[in-house]
Amino acid sequence: MTNDNRYAVLIDADNVSDKYIKFILDEISNDGVATYKRIYGDWTKPTFASWKGVLLEHSITPIQQYAYTQGKNATDSAMIIDAMDILYSGNVDGFCLVSSDSDFTRLASRLRESGMDVVGMGESKTPKAFISACNKFKYLDILAMADEPKPVAQAAPKGQQDEDKMTNFDTIKKAIITIVQENSDEDEWIFIGDIGNKLQKRYPDFDVRNFGFNKFTPFIKSLDLFEIRSERISGSNNKLIYIKEK
């Protein structure tokens, strides 16, 4: 089934590298359609020269914002004003805010208060406050590293290095156990999809790719804590996966 939710993708060029554009657009395509694609910065700066080809290739609109006052981030202000204009236009169902800067924390909270789905994206250095203000958050450096031609298992150590920023493995493991114990049926089984949904709400930055996996079920299996059973959906080749503690 196609997801037709409309998103405004707003990118802070001061805090994001052009090498991440493909990952940004690929990720948001999993949630819906990028109705707006705008990127903010002072395009007169020579450091932004590498962006030109990327913006043309992906049809992203650059928004020029001069730094009128030293020490003040005019890019942030322009992006925030545009976000509120788009919000009041009623043309989108959600926002994708791309930055590793905590300055957008209040904006993310405000958009969620208005019923918007807010997807955050940035590097592992992104402050927890901004991550927590989003419905979910994607680490662009982790996605880029996982895309490199190397064994997937090698992607996991990055999460260990940044565990002070990223929600770490032990925290996720404990949360899964708690969710299973609190939400399983009378026979102690729980639908695996419910676990993923509840984890995302508790920890917006949770993504199995942070730990070297591409799918949620293999990640659960790797914990070696649960029995797993599957039920084929009538008239379909798809299966429903359930788990319970061993």
* Average pLDDT of the segment spanning 65-90: 79
Q: Quote the pLDDT of residue 148.
A: 66
What angle do the packed helices 51-58 and 21-29 form, to 10 degrees? 20
**Is the pLDDT score of 146 beyond 60?**
yes
- 243 and 223 Cβ atoms separated by less than 8 Å: no
Q: Quote the pLDDT of residue 101.
A: 87
pLDDT per position as a tens digit, 105-123: 999 999 999 999 999 999 9
Distances 165 to 36, 129, 154, 175, 213 between C-alpha atoms, Å: 29, 10, 19, 17, 19
How much of the chain exceeds pLDDT 70, in percent?
88
* Average pLDDT of the segment spanning 126-141: 94
Question: Does the domain at residues 1-148 carry the CATH identifier 3.90.550.10?
Answer: no
Which of the 8 DSSP states describes residue 168? P
Task: Give the three-state DSSP class for 240.
Answer: strand
Which amino acid type is present at position 205?
D
φ, ψ at 232 (rounded to 5°): -75, 135
Task: Give the three-state DSSP class for 7.
Answer: strand
Full-model pTM: 0.79
* 155-246: CATH, from 3.30.420.610, 3.40.50.720, 3.40.140.80, 3.30.750.24: 3.30.420.610
Which amino acid type is present at position 36?
Y
**Is the pLDDT score of 15 beyond 90?**
no
List of residues 6+ apart from 49 with CB closer than 8 A = none
Distances 162 to 1, 53, 141, 157 between C-alpha atoms, Å: 36, 32, 11, 9
**Is the pLDDT score of 201 beyond 60?**
yes
Q: Quote the pLDDT of residue 138.
A: 94
Q: Quote the pLDDT of residue 19.
A: 92
Q: Quote the pLDDT of residue 67.
A: 66
**Is the pLDDT score of 159 beyond 50?**
no
**Is the pLDDT score of 231 beyond 50?**
yes
List of residues 6+ apart from 232 with CB closer than 8 A = 238, 239
The residue ranges of every structural domain in the chain are: 1-148, 155-246
